[in-house]
Chains A and B, each alone.
Chain A
Amino acid sequence: MSTPRLSQNPDEVELLRRARAGDKESFYNLVRPYERPIFMAAMCVLRNEADAEEVSQDAVLRAFCGLPRFRGECKFSTWLIQITINESRAKLRKNRRGLYESIDDQREGDEKYWFPKDYADWREIPSEELERKELGEALKRALDSLPLRYREVLVLRDVQDLTTQETAQVLGVTKACIKTRLLRARLQMRDALRPEVDGTWMSGRLEFAKARPFVE
């Protein structure tokens, strides 16, 4: 039996032990704290609630079957999210939508030199002026407008608070690639959330690329 990482919650270690022995109840309790993170991981890839629900739950079932292979070299949550991301990408390939957004463009070409050539209005986004719900919707629309490779990094690092190392492991790229993609993702989000010329706030429209030739 693998030696669990010392950083793991002892309760989680016990649940994992029982789950490996086939205790489904324990496995459900093990997974339950991560329901929202895995759903969010699936959503950032698929951008569709029904697909994300199906895929994230299928990922959990796949994790149960794969428990003998989990050696505790990373946190259980990281492993679970990695499975979810992989399943989501596979689903995206199958979907018709996948025809318009290639997920094969995940190569580590981002590590080449890059510097923002242009930038939109960099005024502080007045989050105080936006109601929480409005802000959440605006952020989601802006996130949806980003390329997949930036959505994934932004959600895993800035929302789910995975470390750079964990994010790199989940996505199968280097730490340097994660850092580069993260800053670009943040800047593209900022551009997607920029104010209109009349001062009102807009978000997520693809027209921003025409107005501001910012993206690669």
Chain B
Amino acid sequence: MREITCEDSWRILTLDVDGDSDKDLRILAGLHLRVCFRCKSIYDATENVARLVAKGLEYELPEGFSKHLYDKIKDM
């Protein structure tokens, strides 16, 4: 199976962010990640950030938000 460059690997992984890209291309990118520490590190970093953001990024609604919204709708 042919090898791919780091740039190609990155392009495939970008398109595959939903896991729905071409299967053969995904395999190629996966094989590249096994041998390229740099690309593997970058890929792992993006996955790590995605997990952190999903778990830790949240905003509390300001106090009274729901009531203010309800009143505004009622007053329309």
Determine chain B's interface SS by DSSP, over half rule: helix
Q: Is the CB of A115 within 8 A of B41?
A: no
Tally chain A residues at the interface, Cβ within 8 Å.
47
Q: List the B side residues contacting A135 at CB < 8 Å.
A: 52, 56
What are the interface flags for B19-52 relative to A under an 8 Å C-beta threshold, 1 for contact and 0 otherwise?
Answer: 0000000000000000000100110111011101
Does chain A have a CB within 8 A of B1?
Answer: no
Smallest Cβ distance from A38 to chain B, in angstroms?
10
Q: Is the CB of A154 within 8 A of B53?
A: yes
Question: How far is B46's CA from A136's CA once the two chains are assembled, in angstroms?
Answer: 18
Smallest Cβ distance from A15 to chain B, in angstroms?
13
Interface stretch (choices A70-78, A94-102, A118-126):
A118-126
Q: Is the CB of B50 within 8 A of A61?
A: no
Question: How far is B29's CA from A106's CA once the two chains are assembled, in angstroms?
Answer: 29
The residue from A35, A136, A163 contacting B65, defined by CB atoms under 8 A apart? A35
What are the interface flags for B40-76 relative to A under an 8 Å C-beta threshold, 1 for contact and 0 otherwise?
Answer: 0110111011101111111101100110111011101
Where the two chains meet, the residues of B that have a C-beta atom closer than 8 Å to any C-beta of A are 6-7, 10-11, 13-15, 17-18, 38, 41-42, 44-46, 48-50, 52-59, 61-62, 65-66, 68-70, 72-74, 76
**Sample (28) of A-B pairs whose CB atoms are under 8 Å apart:** A24-B73, A27-B73, A31-B73, A57-B65, A57-B68, A60-B69, A61-B73, A64-B76, A119-B45, A122-B41, A122-B45, A124-B48, A125-B49, A127-B56, A132-B56, A139-B56, A158-B57, A159-B53, A159-B54, A176-B15, A179-B17, A179-B18, A182-B17, A183-B17, A186-B46, A189-B49, A190-B46, A193-B52
In the complex, the 3 A-B pairs of residues with the closest C-beta atoms, listed nearest first: A122-B41, A186-B46, A186-B49
